[in-house]
Amino acid sequence: MTLHAIIFYFLAVVILAATALAITRRQGAHAILYLIVAFSGTGALFLLLGAPLIAAFMVIIYAGAIMVLFLFVIMLFQRSTREVGLLPRWIPAVLLGIVFLAVAVTMVFRDPGSGAMLRSSSVQPRDFGHFLFERYWLAIEIVSILLLVALVPILQFGRGKGTAGDKAESGEQEGHA
């Protein structure tokens, strides 16, 4: 088995474990952190398979922008609860982080040393953009509209309009006037 195959299977296990932990967590912030590990692992997997542009997209867009948005929404709506003894809950996250860091360092600094050559392919971002927007422009527009539709209720809830607390406060103010 070559080093590429070992790293591939190891990343697959890390991605599956992080995704399973993200699904089973009760606290949203912990699930988001596990999803960031899973998306970063997927980016490393694309980098290993010779697709650096898609790897960069995975890390920048999914693990970066979208997860920060999700984390912001969770922190916005989550009640302030302080729990004692968080250290045992962080052990799986720390272990997955160490494993992911070890695989990333191995991918960067280690020569594969195998006789099998991967077929090299390179696509310029301009060519990728032309391909994407010529063939899949409708899907991109639908996704952008869905993101906009998802953003409107978040902004509405963030302002606090339409909640039961606002109606109770306005009723109290009218009663005191």
Same domain, 25 and 103: yes
Same domain, 126 and 110: no
pLDDT at 173: 53
Token pair, residue 127, equals: 């060519």
Q: How far apart are alpha carbons 121 and 26 in whole angstroms?
A: 42
Please, where are the H alpha helices in the chain?
3-24, 28-48, 52-57, 67-77, 87-109, 125-135, 137-159, 164-176
Same domain, 62 and 147: no
Count: domains in the chain = 2
Q: How far apart are alpha carbons 54 and 89 in whole angstroms?
A: 32
Phi/psi-derived region of residue 135, left when phi > 0, alpha when psi is between -120 and 50, beta in every other case? alpha
b/e burial code for range 2-29 (CB count within 10 A of at least 16 → b): eebeebbebbeebbebbbebbeebeebe
- Domain housing 130: 122-177
Its pTM stands at 0.50
pLDDT at 15: 92
pLDDT at 33: 85
pLDDT at 88: 67
CATH of the domain at 31: 1.20.120.1200
Per-residue pLDDT of the chain (177 residues; tens, 9 = 90+): 788 888 888 899 999 999 988 888 888 778 888 888 898 899 888 888 888 888 888 888 887 888 777 777 777 776 655 555 555 667 777 787 788 788 777 777 776 665 556 566 677 878 878 888 888 888 888 888 888 887 887 777 777 655 555 555 555 555 554
**Collapsed DSSP state (helix, strand, coil) of residue 85:** coil
Would you give the distance in Å from CA 66 to the centre of its chain? 6
